[in-house]
DNA sequence: CGAATAGTGTCTTTTAGACAATATTAA
DNA sequence: TTAATATTGTCTAAAAGACACTATTCG
């Protein structure tokens, strides 16, 4: 009969170690057809109405996962219901936060504009959407987080069609291409794009109707 | 005049939150010309001489960076002086460790065999080198860490020549290719490899002497 | 029919890879 | 000279990209 080891390999009890606070900071990105990738910023101190905007974040609560903390912070700070945050990096400089010893785990979440835009419109004093190129001068390590988030999302979308499943199925190749253009931040040739993604998609046999030109074939994702 | 905010945005003091222990676990990889990528394992409980091997790890100490904890753990557990650990992933299941609430930040370190092999030979009871394909059945999330570490290193080496600068300069293309073969785990064609990396290298104008065949040009890395 | 959009044919350029030929040295 | 290794030439196959053409619908 054995009890769990509440000590580390040198015999020191775990509870005797000082422990850091752990925070999460999240770059919520949304692809806008007009302005490319936008990042969501929240006012850092809503009491003072200061001009300091930052990425939403929070401290990790007991028994909570990092993803859970990310989703909670998005709900609290922006009234958003996100999903599937991805880890980017742990910022660990012991002196990065003058409130104490705080590790911050940076995350990225990609959400459809239909979900994010209304929040920014309803609460302009608290929530802002800004093109990623113009999101600089942020506090802490937030400039770097935005950069990593953009790189992560662009790499994922260059790899395969809509990996985050932002588009509701079924969709046309035009819809898919507009989404990818917003993520990439540049125009993509329709024919080249089509051949890029075609093998990963499955035709529904249906087509759009009532639109201006030739009807477009409707697709869904092939796998699964 | 203002004091630092020792509280979070909801007014709760930081110190009032329960905080997790933070650990680091590290996959130390080394490219072996014969056996491909090897991973370093340490005996989990050196007192009992149990057959449980695992990745070296430790708890983060106060005022320490994650990279610092990684290097300290390698020094303590294997007498290794490493450098430049890279973060892979944070494992955050609140119940992953029955000793308590422990977050683990997985890392990867790539070291030259000349540094790692002697350690394993001198302390076979504590330290083991195993081909990555045979490093399964490890405790905690260690199987997954090894997998991520291998993927990370292989991707980096497929991208550019010896990004971790394991080879002392100057080196021949043969030396460089042998290293990349060990990382990739397969043979690479000399001519194809040469054209792949040539643009990233800078000739020293020197050549090897006294070897069997035609002398090989000596190179260094081009950038910087 | 004409405007508008969807989709395909085909050519060029680039890249990766394979294979063979040439180059240079030690023994 | 021969064995051994380094380096380059060249061909083929695959992929990416550009451009023009055909197809189908609405008004």
How is A79-148 classified by DSSP, letter by letter? -------EEEEEE--TTS-TTS-EEEEEEEEE--HHHHHHHHHH-TTTEEEEEGGG--S-STTHHHHHHH
B6-12 long-range contacts (CB < 8 A, ≥24 apart) are: B6/A99, B6/A100, B7/A99, B8/A58, B8/A59, B9/A45, B9/A46, B9/A58
- Residue A46, pLDDT score: 58
Query: How close is the nearest chain B Cα to the Cα of A17, in Å?
Result: 7
Cβ(B17)–Cβ(A59) below 8 Å: yes
- Residue A49, pLDDT score: 60
CATH for A14-159, options being 1.10.1040.50, 3.10.20.740, 3.90.79.10, 3.40.50.2020: 3.90.79.10
User: What tokens were used for A10?
Assistant: 């040198």
- Residue A204, pLDDT score: 94
Cβ(A117)–Cβ(A30) below 8 Å: yes
CATH of segment(s) B19-159: 3.90.79.10
CA distance B138 to B39: 12
Name the closest nucleotide to A172, judged by C1' and CA.
C6
* Span CA (B204) to C1' (D10), Å: 28
Boundaries of every domain in chain B: 19-159, 173-221
Q: Is the CB of B160 under 7 A from strand C?
A: no
Name the closest nucleotide to A217, judged by C1' and CA.
C6
Percent over 90 (pLDDT), chain A: 76
Specify the DSSP class assigned to residue B134. Answer: G
DSSP H or E run through B5: none
Nearest CA in chain A to B87: A89
Question: How does pLDDT run across A160-178, given as a tens digit for each residue?
Answer: 999 999 999 999 999 999 9
Q: Which residues of chain A have pLDDT under 50?
A: 1-6
CB pair distance less than 8 Å for A21 and B19? yes
CA distance B176 to A216: 51
Which residue's structure tokens are 């030109």? A213
At B81, the pLDDT band (50, 70, 90 cuts) reads confident
Q: Is the CB of B209 under 7 A from strand C?
A: yes
The arithmetic mean of pLDDT across residues B206-219, rounded, is: 91
Nearest CA in chain A to B98: A4
Q: Is the CB of B172 under 7 A from strand D?
A: yes
The arithmetic mean of pLDDT across residues B7-32, rounded, is: 80
Q: Above 70 in pLDDT, residue B18?
A: yes
Which residue's structure tokens are 């394991």? B166
């Amino acid at each position: 009969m054995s009890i769990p080891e509440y000590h580390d390999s040198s015999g020191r009890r775990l509870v005797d170690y000082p422990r850091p606070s752990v925070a999460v900071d999240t770059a919520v990105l949304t692809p806008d057809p007009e302005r490319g990738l936008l990042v969501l910023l929240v006012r850092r101190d809503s009491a003072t109405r200061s001009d300091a905007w930052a990425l939403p974040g929070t401290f990790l609560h007991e028994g909570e996962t990092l993803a859970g903390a990310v989703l909670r912070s998005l709900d609290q700070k922006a009234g958003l219901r996100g999903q599937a945050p991805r880890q980017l990096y742990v910022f660990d400089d012991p002196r990065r936060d003058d409130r104490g010893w705080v590790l911050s785990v940076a995350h990225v979440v990609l959400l459809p504009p239909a979900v994010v835009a209304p929040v920014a419109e309803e609460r302009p004093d608290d929530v802002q959407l800004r093109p990623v190129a113009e999101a600089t001068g942020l506090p802490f390590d937030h400039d770097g987080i935005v950069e990593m988030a953009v790189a992560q999302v662009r790499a994922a979308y260059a790899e395969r069609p809509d990996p985050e499943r932002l588009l509701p199925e079924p969709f046309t190749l035009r819809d898919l291409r507009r989404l990818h253009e917003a993520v990439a931040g540049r125009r993509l040739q329709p024919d080249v794009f089509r051949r890029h993604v075609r093998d990963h998609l499955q035709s529904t046999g249906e087509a759009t109707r009532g639109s201006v030109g030739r009807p477009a074939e409707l697709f869904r994702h092939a796998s699964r």
